[in-house]
Structure 1
């Protein structure tokens, strides 16, 4: 019993530490990109390629991580992800030009993709009790490090080491080298494998034919598109709709992320008590309602943009908890299927927002005092994604009650 408890805490350290490092590695690029651009004289299109490698590496990792986990085990998948991130940091430190920098970035994002899928599978297998609570707490660590990553990265780049500034190379090397830390407990931990006696057998072919699986994909896609779009468009909206300063707009976005992160820390027990599908239905509806109200009330209701973060935050981890419970016998396959399609939907969803804003502005005549209409319609679309997430939960809730009884 004592050894079991010690092993559980080792695995907790690996999962929570992994999410912490994952958040750092994904969100330190903001302050680093201008320095990279200046050093290598990069065009904006070349920076765009660097950022596109994020999605490509992520989707590539989605394609093989679950299969790899079944072949070599979750322990070695996690170690591979952490090790590839350390190697990427070393390669970035030594990069001499754009080709080597691009190759290093690609390696980093493949490692990030393996880590995200791997951590999801690990958490699903480890958190068999109070799954909603523990999934939300795990993702809280990602949010926590995401808040501090840009500030930490910018600060470290200005550090003076051995007579010179640390710069973006040293900053990436040091932060990505932190990935060594979770490797050590990973070597000693005993990771649970797939459950063989409980849950429903899972295959990609079965998931493609399962309407519940597609409803879960829809719920997660609509919820995450709304979540990502708020992070991408809120500052732009406040600056152009209300003529706020960059500082004031950024502070509102920071408040959104603060409430978002705290929500993941505290609402987990509610999801376990209410049920996962019902929780997602209520929280996503709350987020959508807050965003819609903020648009229609105007500048005096701007705080509602940030408050929407409370509702949108639990969607991703709670869906992961739902997958862990429904597809216990094949959770890696279920997570891979769901998150891969999510990645494609996210690209399409975020592209649509920009297209909608441009189309409405063009239709009403941009430059003639109607610019605000396009922004408002674009943000209504963002809120609508959260509402659609909630609406998709209705048939999902009914089908789960019919098929799985208490699993809702």
Structure 2
């Protein structure tokens, strides 16, 4: 009788676990789409509303602000209403934002709609990270990397899919950027289905530190993790932002060839998250951060030093930088198992601030070197020097990430808490 009851319980838990996996994997897939369909859409928005570059910059800046605001309160929301309801709100807000974008009739309404969408993005990222930390109690590094693999998968497809959808004619008119956003964000309804039918994972008391936010910020390891994640994500996002621009202007590549190299970077990035997860579990999370971020930094800087023949190293850098975010999340999930919501919210919020500052700094470095190396006899010399300096800074960020990971390794080892 007891055996039959245990079997039923296991079947029930397995079924719920499967639903939760569908929520996490489907959520990251949708998150990748929502983040990466804007590339082809922004020029269409700019043309429709006759926007200048400053207005586009303001749009993107407000997106970052909305994301950061959401990151700052999601952990508190999870404690108040639970992870399931928080996740449903995140998914629902993204669906609503898609319809808001569809009905945007002016720049101001578009900005507000975009701002609302990024509130949903911030909610979703933190909610998925907390949920993943709660259900990936075994092989955490492998499972975190697998979850983020789905983000990389949709990131590869998203720009091409968005560009094609905007040209589709439906009911006698072109979908355009409004219809594309409405359609793509409506896909968020799909992971809402398993979310509705799933049960929040039962939280067991695990080995770890139970800390308040005030106590957490006194932990040196917490700040080292913020630094590691911030530098890693600055390097990751900056490659995606600057690689095409660099290849076109420094090497004279066509837009198709440059986009192809960026696709190669994302392909390496995505496959690495699928393949290297078990490696992080085997050699340890902190050692993985040291090795992989160092590898990415070396590849990025070597690509600049070697010149055009070493351009393949830009793509190879994706192999090293890919495991950084999920591995830090795995480390947080293990070290702060009883307060993962507090730890993740704190870390990701400060990471967002550092990422905005880091990307702005790259722009300043490019401008500084462009002016410093300007040459009337070679009109592009200053720009090329600036782009090279900016890209070297991206590589330096990855190397600094590796260096701070060494500090984290020593800090945890001396306390017998190495992961």
Range of TM-score over shorter length? over 0.9
Task: Give the deviation of 1:387 after TM superposition.
Answer: 0.6
Displacement of 1:38: 2.4
Equivalent in the alignment of 2:65: 56
RMSD: 1.4
* Distance of 1:295 and 1:46 partners within structure 2: 32
CA 232–49 in structure 1, closer or farther in 2 if over 3 Å, else same:
same
Per-residue deviation, 1:197? 4.5
Whether the aligned pair in 2 keeps the contact of 1:202 and 1:334 (CA below 8 Å) is: no
Partner SS state of residue 61, structure 2? helix
| Cα distance in structure 2, aligned partners of 1:317 and 1:8 | 20
Cα 1:272–1:368, aligned 2, differ >3 Å: closer, same or farther?
farther
Which secondary structure does the structure 2 equivalent of 1:114 belong to?
helix
> Is residue 2:200 matched to residue 1:191?
yes
Change (3 A) 1:130 1:366: farther
1:389 equivalent in structure 2: 401
Alignment: residue pair count: 407
Equivalent of 1:376 in 377, 384, 388: 388
Gaps of 5+ in 1: none
1-side partners of 2:210 and 2:264: how far apart? Answer: 42
Deviation of the 1:213 alpha carbon: 0.6
Aligned equivalents of 1:364, 1:148: Cα separation in 2: 38
User: For residue 296 of structure 1, what is the aligned residue in structure 2?
Assistant: 305
* Structure 2 CA distance for aligned equivalents of residues 30 and 232 of structure 1: 10
The CA distance in 1 between the partners of 2:399 and 2:181, in whole Å, is 39
Residue 116 of structure 1 is matched in structure 2 by 125
Distance 1:364 1:94, change over 3 A: closer
TM-score using structure 2 length: 0.94
Question: Structure 1 residue 341: deviation in Å?
Answer: 0.8
Say which of 154, 165, 168 aligns to 1:156.
165
Say if 1:95 and 1:134 are closer, same or farther in 2 by CA, change over 3 A.
same
Deviations 1:79-109 (A, max 9, x none): 0001101111111122222222222111111
Distance 1:62 1:366, change over 3 A: farther
Does the Cα contact within 8 Å between 2:206 and 2:337 map onto a contact in 1?
Answer: no
Match of 2:355 in 1: 346
Scaled by the length of structure 1, the TM-score of the pair is 0.96
**187-196 or 257-266, which deviates more:** 187-196
In 1, the alpha carbon distance for the partners of 2:249 and 2:296 equals: 22
Map 1:35-184 → 2, pairs under 5 A = 35-184=44-193
Asked if 1:316 corresponds to 2:328, the answer is: no
Find 1:21's aligned residue among 26, 30, 33.
30
CA positional deviation for 1:363: 2.4
Q: Map 1:206-225 onto structure 2 (within 5 A).
A: 206-225=215-234
Please name the residue that 1:273 is paired with: 282
Aligned to 2:293: 284
**Alignment match, 2:249:** 240
Deviations 1:133-182 (A, max 9, x none): 01001011011111111111111111111111122221111111111111
* Structure 2 runs not aligned, ≥5 long: 1-9
The alpha-carbon deviation at position 236 of structure 1 amounts to 1.9
The separation in 2 between residues aligned to 1:243 and 1:197, in whole angstroms, is 55
1:404 deviates by 3.6
Residues 290 and 89 of structure 1, relative CA distance in 2, 3 Å threshold: same
The CA distance in 2 between the partners of 1:195 and 1:209, in whole Å, is 25
Q: State the 1:44 CA deviation.
A: 2.6
Q: Distance in 2 between matches of 1:338 and 1:196?
A: 22
Bigger shift: residues 99-108 or 125-134? 99-108
Q: Aligned partners of 2:244 and 2:229: how far apart in 1?
A: 24
Q: Residues 46 and 362 (structure 1 numbering): CA distance in 2 closer, same or farther, change over 3 Å?
A: closer
- Match of 2:415, SS state, is helix
Deviation per CA, 1:286-328: give whole Å up to 9, x if none: 1111112111111111111111110010000000000000011
Taking the aligned partners of 1:357 and 1:66, their CA distance within structure 2 comes to 37
Deviation by residue 1:216-247 (Cα, 9 ceiling, x = unmatched): 11111111111111111112222222222222
Per-residue CA distance 1:356-383 (angstroms, 9 max, x = gap): 1222232233445442333322222111
CA distance in 2, matches of 1:34, 1:361: 26
